[in-house]
Amino acid sequence: MDHRKHIRRSLFDLDADFQVAWVWNSFDHMDVTRKSLGDEKCKLGPGSDGCASVFLAATANGWLHSNALNYIPGSGDFLISVPEQDWVVKIDYKDGKGTGTVLWRLGLDGDFKVKSDDPYPWFSYQHDGGFDPPGSNRLIVFDDGDRRKVKFPKSNNRGQAWELDEQTMTATLVLNADLGVYSPAIGSAQSLSGGGFSFESGMVNPASVSSRATEVGADGKIVYAQQSDGAATYRSFRVPDLYTPPRK
């Protein structure tokens, strides 16, 4: 595939003096022949709507539109949520001493064997994937479900929690909450201190935009929902008060 027609994503680690200390280049570590699953295109000129700037072609393939970065304290590595690949990928960072290698890819056609009886367990066009609480093996994610929606037109967004075993490379779906509405893009995921979860469906109706924050219990049942009209909500955070910063 012509690299000039393929958007490149890079990640930069800056030191305390704002000097570049480490760089991750997608062209070095991702499969450039695996294009955007949604056939996302970025147009010539300044970047917009998740696209980088395009100067060498009329359009480029938006294969690495990314929306979340999650640092892993125990190993010093990080996760990137790549919705146009339907993957959350783990990168060998090692606090600036890593190779940048993709250690694994979580999602359909990735590296994990799934344990679930759901007919379509994997997330698609996901947002805000990361280990929560930090240091655990539980990964939570907001499943927009764009590819699932094609197969099952009545599908809603889902809030998911996965237990990962990196030794056996198995992923067990332990929470798969139907959030009752469908947002085709954006969203967030957060675990709560009481054992439940909060998920944000950020763009429920693109024609007359609204968003919906939904709390579910540990059993996946909805216990609270709040709708906001007139604007999209990219992320939302539940906080105990106005003075304590959110954990995530």
Walk along the chain (248 residues) in steps of 10 and give the mean pLDDT of each run.
50 93 92 90 81 85 89 95 96 96 97 97 98 94 97 97 98 98 96 94 88 96 94 91 76
Q: Is the peptide bond before 83 cis (omega within 30 degrees of 0)?
A: no
* In a shared domain, residues 50 and 95: no
Task: Give the three-class secondary structure for 149.
Answer: helix
* In a shared domain, residues 173 and 119: yes
* In a shared domain, residues 129 and 185: yes
* In a shared domain, residues 96 and 179: yes
* In a shared domain, residues 96 and 201: yes
- DSSP, res 20: E
**Alpha helix positions (H), 135-212:** 146-151
Taking Cα atoms as reference points, which of 206, 208, 201, 207 lies closest to residue 234? Answer: 201
| 132 and 122 Cβ atoms separated by less than 8 Å | no
pLDDT of residue 209: 86
| 173 and 138 Cβ atoms separated by less than 8 Å | no
Q: Which of 26, 45, 64 is the last residue of a domain?
A: 64
Q: Phi and psi (nearest 5°) for 96?
A: 90, 0
**Alpha helix positions (H), 37-145:** none
Taking Cα atoms as reference points, which of 225, 182, 221 lies closest to residue 201? Answer: 182
Task: Give the three-class secondary structure for 232.
Answer: coil
| Kind and range of the H or E run holding 26 | helix 26-29
* In a shared domain, residues 77 and 165: yes
Q: What is the pTM of this model?
A: 0.92
Domain that holds residue 11: 1-64
Q: Return the residue matching tokens 């990962």.
A: 164
pLDDT of residue 122: 98
* In a shared domain, residues 85 and 169: yes
pLDDT of residue 124: 98
* In a shared domain, residues 153 and 213: yes
Residues 97-103: contacts with CB under 8 Å, at least 24 apart? 100/23, 100/24, 100/25, 100/28, 100/29, 101/29, 102/29, 102/30, 103/77
- Provide the domain count of the chain: 2
